[in-house]
Amino acid sequence: MALEVFQQYINGAFEDASETFESLDPATGVAWAQMPMANESDVDRAVTAAHVAFTTGVWPTLNASARGKLLYKLADLMAADADVLAELETTDTGKIRRETRAVIMYIAEYYRYFAGLADKLQGAHFAVDKPNMEAYTRREPIGVVAAIVPWNSQMFLSAVKLAPALAAGCTVVLKASEDGPAPLLHFAKLVDHAGFPPGVVNIITGMGQSCGKALTSHPLVSRIAFTGGPATAKEIVANSANNLAVVSLELGGKSPIIVFEDADLESAANAIVSGIFAATGQSCVAGSRLLVQENVHKQLMEILVAKAKRIKIGDPQNLETEMGPLATKRQLTHVQDVLDRSVAQGAKLITGGKSPAGFAAGFYYEPTILDCEGSLVACVQEEIFGPVLSVLKFRDDAEALAMANDSEYGLASGVFTKDIGRAHRFVRSLRAGIVWVNTYRMISPMVPFGGYGQSGTGREAGAESILDYTRTKSVWINTSEEPISDPFIMR
Ligand code: NAD
């Protein structure tokens, strides 16, 4: 079967790259599309186009309300094209269709939210302590933004970068992940239809060590917005020494869900299942460490194992399917490797732990639960990014908190209890950028998202995130009619 061909989008034109690579359908392991592989020269052209668009032409003269209108239009085009985008994301990443479609409809809300904020950026006026002076600040767009995303949720992770950047008046070079770039390369057509001037949005893909490195070290880049793993983040921070760009990092997690004996166990179990098995566990906020109070451990495990065994694994395009494959063969090998090491270190396999029968061709893995005695096992320490839940028992609040905070990561956390005082104590003491109480995996354009520690710096979404795409200019105006006196004559 002929491969579907995707192009890159640079300076308002769709073009073939000089090199290409094949993308595999994770459900079959078979190549289905040919992707453009941007090299250093493509990156340079894209960044230069973004720089030219930022400094000359139509974009810098558009007022903020007009930028907002373009973003509203983009959101409408996205919602209208949700089926195509969802099909592409499912084919290229294995994420189930009923999730990709719902998520794309909701991502349009992120573009709308920031569209509405575009003309609400304000400077300040100061009651300044000098005679005859007016002083105020302007919020100006920071410049060319390099946006880099991983494979697992490219439409969402690019929206939380593109929408505030464009609303603020920046221009963008977006590098889609080399794994599953199809929906973002298609999204470029919507950007084009919406009418953004050439060079304002450029969408490319390519390998991290060539395309990603060239982009993050390019001297014309002023802002880097990165989502991915901590090791790549460290390389990007080193690359940014070249351009001194402002960097935000949204990294991985090993998020704990803490379930107390007073919790509604059935409700908690549903949240835990969604927290670890949705997106086949390939979610930065996956609730991959379950901490259970010892006297409800047995009961909760029984509920969870029953639910895990009932999950319908299958073709991700089928709307009945509840869990699809992992995105890549590399990820499948990684999940099995962590699992084998954890079992060798003493973790007890309760369910799953292998590829399901009948799915040998694709990159499928069973919903897996491990019971762990201590935290010194690989599955409790390392981010797996797969459908693997590690369960630990605790006796009391102090032990639960110590276990929850015993991680180099600090992205999300969940607390299930009916005790409001305890909920607040945990909200205060958990070292994590997000605490969900009696719920899990809630997100909204209005609420900031980001982590502590090795989970990164900076926050995405929420009104304040638009400020990270601006810089402040301070303005002083002398209102006096008197000439400035000779500075060398003392009065
Ligand atoms: P990754 O860090 O390997 O790659 C992410 C992106 O960085 C890709 O586009 C890649 O091409 C690019 N890249 C790689 N090397 C680069 C370099 N030297 N310079 C510039 N760019 C480079 O991550 P991944 O394996 O694709 O994704 C999984 C990771 O992303 C996990 O750790 C996961 O937790 C994290 N993640 C975090 C969030 C969040 O919001 N906190 C969301 C989703 C995923």
C-alpha torsion sign, points 277, 278, 280, 283: negative
Beta carbon of 86 within 6 Å of any ligand 1 atom = no
Q: Which atom of ligand 1 is nearest to the CA of 455?
A: 41
Q: Is the CB of 60 under 6 A from ligand 1?
A: no
Q: Residue 446: inside a domain, yes or no?
A: no
**Stretch 319-339: mean pLDDT, rounded?**
97
- The domain spanning residue 53 has which CATH number? 3.40.605.10
- The 3-state DSSP class for residue 145 equals strand
Using an 8 Å Cβ cutoff, are 204 and 181 in contact? no
pLDDT of amino acid 490: 77
Rounded to the nearest angstrom, the gap between the alpha carbon of residue 226 and the centroid of all alpha carbons in its chain is 8
Is it the case that residue 44 has pLDDT exceeding 80?
yes
Question: Which ligand 1 atom is at minimum distance from the Cα of 411?
Answer: 41
14 lies in the same domain as 75: yes
CA–centroid distance, residue 240 to ligand 1 (Å): 16
- Asked if 419 and 281 sit in the same domain, the reply is yes
Task: Give distance in angstroms: CA of 231 to centre of ligand 1.
Answer: 9
CB hemisphere CA count around 418 (13 angstroms): 6
**Residues 37 and 205: beta-carbon distance below 8 Å:** yes
Instruction: Look at residue 314 and tell me whether its pLDDT is greater than 80.
Output: yes
Ligand 1: distance of its center to the CA of 251 in Å?
Answer: 7
Domain identity same for 220 and 265: no
Domain shared by 80 and 192, yes or no: yes
Asked if 202 and 46 touch (Cβ cutoff 8 Å), the reply is yes
Say if residue 125's pLDDT is above 80: yes
Would you state the pLDDT for residue 375? 85
| 443 located within any domain | no
Q: Is 141 helix (H, G, I), strand (E, B) or coil?
A: strand
Q: DSSP of 146-212, one letter per residue?
A: EEE--STTHHHHHHHHHHHHHHHT-EEEEEE-SSS-HHHHHHHHHHHHHTPPTTSEEEEE--IIIII
Alpha helices (H) along 311-354: 329-344
- Render pLDDT for 238-284 as a digit per residue (tens, 0 to 9): 999 999 999 999 999 999 999 999 999 999 999 999 999 999 999 99
Active site residue 250: yes
Residue 491 has pLDDT above 70, yes or no: no
Q: Which residues contact 198 (CB under 8 A, 6 or more apart)?
A: 11, 12, 13, 49, 53, 57
Amino acid found at 41: S
pLDDT digits (tens, 9 = 90+) for 186-229: 999 999 999 999 999 999 999 999 999 999 999 999 999 999 99
**Cβ of 236 less than 6 Å from ligand 1:** yes
Catalytic site residue from 170, 284, 372, 379: 284
- What's the full length of the chain, in residues? 491
Same domain, residue pair 247 and 367: no
Q: Are residues 309 and 165 in the same domain?
A: no
Minimal CA–CA distance to 143: which of 215, 50, 282? Answer: 50
Is the CB of 461 within 6 Å of ligand 1?
A: no
Q: What is the pLDDT of residues 361-420, one digit of tens each?
A: 999 999 999 999 988 899 999 999 999 999 999 999 999 999 999 999 999 999 999 999
Is 169 among the domain residues?
Answer: yes
Q: Atom 16 of ligand 1 has which residue's CA nearest to it?
A: 208
Residues paired with 339 in a beta bridge: none
Residue 232 beta carbon below 6 angstroms from any ligand 1 atom:
yes
- Per residue in 161-188, pLDDT (tens digit) is 999 999 999 999 999 999 999 999 999 9
pLDDT at 481 over 90: yes
Most informative mutation of 103, 148, 153, 160 for ligand 1 (most atoms within 8 A of CB) = 148
In a domain, 444, yes or no: no
- 469, 117 Cβ separation under 8 angstroms: no
Task: Indicate whether residue 212 lines ligand 1 (CB < 6 A).
Answer: yes
User: Which residues, other chains included, contact 252 with Cβ-Cβ below 8 Å and sequence gap of 6+?
Assistant: 229, 230, 284, 383, 385, 409, 411, 454, 455
The residue whose CA is least distant from atom 28 of ligand 1 is 228
- Closest ligand 1 atom to the C-alpha of 207? 11
In whole angstroms, how far apart are CA 299 and each of 113, 261, 263, 269, 283?
A: 43, 10, 12, 11, 27
Give the start-end residues of each E strand in 251-358: 256-259, 289-293, 348-351
Nearest 10 degrees: CA dihedral of 66, 72, 77, 79? 170
For the sheet with 201-205, list strands across it: 13-15, 8-10, 201-205, 171-176, 144-148, 221-227, 246-250, 456-457
**Active-site residue identified among 250, 382, 383, 460:** 250
Say yes or no: CB of residue 154 within 6 Å of ligand 1.
no
Q: Is the pLDDT of residue 113 over 80?
A: yes
Pocket lining: 213 vs ligand 1, CB cutoff 6 Å: yes
Asked if 221 and 297 sit in the same domain, the reply is: no
Number of domains within the chain: 2
Q: What angle do CA 301, 302, 304 make, to 5 degrees?
A: 60
**0.85 exceeded by pTM:** yes
Question: Is the domain of 240 the same as that of 268?
Answer: no
> Is residue 225 within 8 Å of 161, Cβ to Cβ?
yes
Q: Which atom of ligand 1 is nearest to the CA of 215?
A: 20
> Is the residue at 72 inside a domain?
yes
Hey, what amino acid is at 412? A
Is there a domain that residue 491 lies in?
A: no
- The type of residue at 322 is E
On whether residue 320 sits in a domain, the answer given is: yes
The verdict on residue 488 lying in a domain is no
CA of 294 to the centre of ligand 1 (A): 36
pLDDT at 14 over 90: yes
- Which of 37, 232, 383 best tests ligand 1's pocket when mutated (most atoms within 8 Å of CB)? 232
Q: Look up the CATH number of the domain holding residue 419.
A: 3.40.309.10
Share of the chain above pLDDT 70, in %: 100
Task: State which residues form the domain around 165.
Answer: 4-251+455-475
87 is catalytic: no
Residue 242 Cβ contacting ligand 1 at under 6 Å: no
Pairing mode, strands 133-141 and 470-478: antiparallel
Task: Out of 151, 215, 227, give the residue to mutate to test ligand 1, the one with the largest number of ligand atoms within 8 Å of its CB.
Answer: 227
Diameter of the chain by CA atoms? 92
Please state the rounded mean pLDDT for residues 469-477. Answer: 98
Q: Is 186 in the pocket of ligand 1 (CB under 6 A)?
A: no
Same domain, 160 and 270: no
Give the Cα separation of 290 and 92 in Å (integer). 30
Q: What is the dihedral of CA 306, 343, 363, 179, to 10 degrees?
A: 120
Q: Check whether residue 335 and residue 415 sit in a common domain.
A: yes
Distance 227 CA to ligand 1 centre (A): 5
Helix 294-310, helix 265-277: angle, nearest 10: 50
Does 319 share its domain with 206? no
Predicted pLDDT at 120: 97
Protein residue whose Cα sits closest to atom 40 of ligand 1: 250
Same domain, 73 and 182: yes
Q: What is the pLDDT of residues 71-107, one digit of tens each?
A: 999 999 999 999 999 999 999 999 999 999 999 999 9
